[in-house]
Amino acid sequence: MTHVKRAFKFRFYPTDAQAAELSRTFGCVRLVFNKALAARSEAWTMRRERVTYNATSAMLTAWKKTEELAFLCEVSCVPLQQALRHLQGAFSNFWQRRAGYPRFKSRKKSRDSAEYTTSAFRYRDGRLTLAKMAEPLDIVWSRPLPEGHSPSTVTVSRDAAGRWFVSMLCDDSTVKPLPVLDTAVGIDVGIASLVTLSTGEEIANPKHERRDRERLARAQRELAHKAKGSNNREKARCKVARVHARIADRRRDFLHKLTTRLVRENQTVVIEDLTVRNMLKSKPLARAISDASWTELRTMLEYKCAWYGRELITVDRWFPSSKLCSACGTIAAKMPLNVRQWACDCGAVHDRDVNGARNILAAGLAVSACGDGVRPQRNTPGGRSSVKQEVVPPQRKRAAAQPRG
């Protein structure tokens, strides 16, 4: 039986010696990544030559033998090799048009992290010891690892607020398909109500950023008044980062609970394919859309449906879910955002969001039953389609069928 690879993230509190060793490792990882990226970019720009991972690995060996970079030998070699593998993956994503060109890691803005494989750590009896360290990490075990499974990869990171985390990648045999149900739900996302279900239930938007906006503004004002390069400025920066971390943690916790509930209660989940990146260009709504985090909501639904044997269907972004009457099928001429309720000529009175969720569900079930209007989906990094199919509205199919001049 194939087990799901799952990462378990825990907070830990390093000793002074461990913190110093990990900080050195983070710096060396960043340096190796940047030097390899510069070498590959220069080789292509000057000689139109593609540098492979094996070539950068040989470069790393040569760098360690120089007097200037001899300090690279003082840290574990595994995180440095993993940095080169990550760079190779970034270039692969760029060549396959899944991402932009790899960028250099900044000391101030990039995330501090180092990845260790099985040869660079020891895990015994719930105690994790990394290479170049004499003592195990003081980990807060908020939940147990899957019984009978040891981590295959360990990633140590430090966030902007100065918190230390360790993420362990394990095979999880507890993730299994749930019993098959006969229920389905359509989901319409919004700002006032984060999620409106086709059942008529509306789940309010917690608006985590707005709740802490005053505290965040106060911390940012204090940061602006501190002299650059001073210790007080660093303390003020950490204070701002802690407010941001508090907002992100609360938002992530809420979305995890919401998506888990939706996946457990429904066999089929139908959502709308929104271009959030383009919607963020609207200045009046950008802050509220970012706080709602619709993209993270969809991502969680995708992998949880794959884990638990559920079906996730996406409806094309051009499908007129809000303007379409769910009773008679008439499409309204206009539907501005300030219209929250509207009446159809057939006599039906609709709540905008509930009507949209019902139309999304009906379109998704129609496609699931007969396969009409299906087109390929975007692939996940693993190369497997994360959702089953997408509904294409009739007007777009007719436009695609017309010859182009």
SS (H, E, C) 175-193: CCCCCCCCCEEEEEECCCE
pLDDT in tens, 342-372: 777 687 777 788 888 888 888 888 877 665 5
Does residue 92 share a domain with residue 41? yes
| Catalytic hit among 21, 112, 188, 390 | 188
Query: What is the domain extent for residue 109?
Result: 4-172
In a domain, 228, yes or no: no
Please count the structural domains in the chain: 2
Whole-model pTM: value is 0.83
249 is catalytic: no
- What mean pLDDT do residues 252-260 have? 96
pLDDT computed for residue 371 by the predictor: 56
Active site residue 253: no
346 φ/ψ angles, rounded to the nearest 5 degrees? -80, -5
Domain identity same for 302 and 358: yes
pLDDT of 379 above 50: no
308 residue type, one letter: Y
Q: Is 353 a catalytic residue?
A: yes
Residue 387 scores a pLDDT above 60: no
Q: Calculate the average pLDDT of the chain.
A: 87
pLDDT (tens digit, 9 = 90+) per residue, 151-182?
A: 999 999 999 999 999 999 999 888 889 999 99
Identify whether the C-beta of residue 291 lies closer than 8 Å to the C-beta of residue 192: no
Q: For 257-266, what is the mean pLDDT?
A: 95
Same domain flag for 67 and 95: yes
Residue 150 lies in a domain: yes
- The answer to whether residue 226 sits within a structural domain is no
pLDDT single digits (tens) 226-249 = 999 899 999 999 999 999 999 999
| d(C-alpha 313, C-alpha 302), whole Å | 10
Residues 5-37 have pLDDT tens digits of 999 999 999 999 999 999 999 999 999 999 999
For the cut 50, the answer to whether the pLDDT of residue 38 exceeds it is yes
Query: Is 26 in the same domain as 158?
Result: yes
CA angle 13-83-71, nearest 5°?
Answer: 75
The answer on 188 and 167 residing in a single domain is no
Asked if 128 and 193 sit in the same domain, the reply is no
Active-site residue identified among 202, 272, 302, 390 = 272
Judge whether residue 93 has pLDDT over 70. yes
Q: Which two tokens stand for residue 171?
A: 């095979």
